[in-house]
Amino acid sequence: MAAPATFRHPSADVYLEPVLIREAIGDDVRSMPVWKRAIDVTGAGFGLLLLAPFFAVVALIVAVESPGGPFFRQVRVGKGGRTFTCWKFRTMHRDAERMKAGLLSMNEASGHIFKIKNDPRRTRVGIFLRKTSIDELPQLWNVFRGDMSLVGPRPPIPAEVAAYTTAQLRRLSVEPGITGLWQVTLRGRHDFADMVALDVEYALHRSLWLDLRIFALTAVAVVRGEGSC
């Protein structure tokens, strides 16, 4: 039997096998409900229009404090193993990846998640943007395009997906989201297995009521300044 075809995102550093991913997920791949896409398009569309001036100000501040582009782009894996470019405001210095090698021993998270308290790679503006979750707002463009949803599992990086078990691949059965069940449940905690398990739980039991509950909990967390630190 011939090996399944592989594909590669132009800027990805890991090959994925979407055929295998789809086979593993099987019938678990779920079509997006009409109500959910309607909320996504309406919310993201209005958000992009209303926040455009604010985006310009934030982009200018980011670029002034730390030379370089104001946005951070990274390859993420979406529904069914399809890759896309995820957008955020840049919160770290341009040489953050180079600095990461010397900080690996300080990692406080598990799996393919890298988190350390008082990360020296972050800029002063970046700390504020993460604490208030403002850095995530450019993902409204991903939502409007259909790459993501307002609520859903966290979009993983290719290297993370390559290490998934068959059960964990169910995380890819729905569109990823800007906020989700694990974000409002494990604030400040970064256990990889628990994070993936909660995302799978959401994928299996997605509903309008659950989305509204996650929206409400996210709003409370943002007001309290409980974003990523």
CB-based contact 97:124 (threshold 8 Å): no
β-strand 177-179 against 149-151: which pairing, if any?
parallel
Query: How many residues in the chain?
Result: 229
> Can you tell me the distance from the alpha carbon of 214 to that of 219, in angstroms, rounded to the nearest whole number?
9
Neighbours of 82 (CB within 10 A): 17
Indicate the burial class of 1 (C-beta count within 10 angstroms; 0-12, 13-18, 19 or more): exposed
pLDDT digits 0-9 by tens, 15-62? 455 556 666 666 566 789 999 999 999 999 999 999 999 999 999 999
Residue-level pLDDT at 8? 47
What pTM, to 2 d.p., does this model score? 0.82
Eight-class DSSP state of 148: -
Condensed to tens digits (0 to 9), the pLDDT of residues 141-163 reads 999 999 999 999 999 998 888 88
Count of helix runs (H) and strand runs (E) in the chain: 9, 4
SS (H, E, C) 135-204: HHCCHHHHHHHCCCEEECCCCCCHHHHHCCCCCHHHHHHCCCEEECHHHHHCCCCCCHHHHHHHHHHHHH
Can you give the residue ranges of every domain in the chain?
Answer: 18-223
Does residue 113 have a pLDDT over 70? no
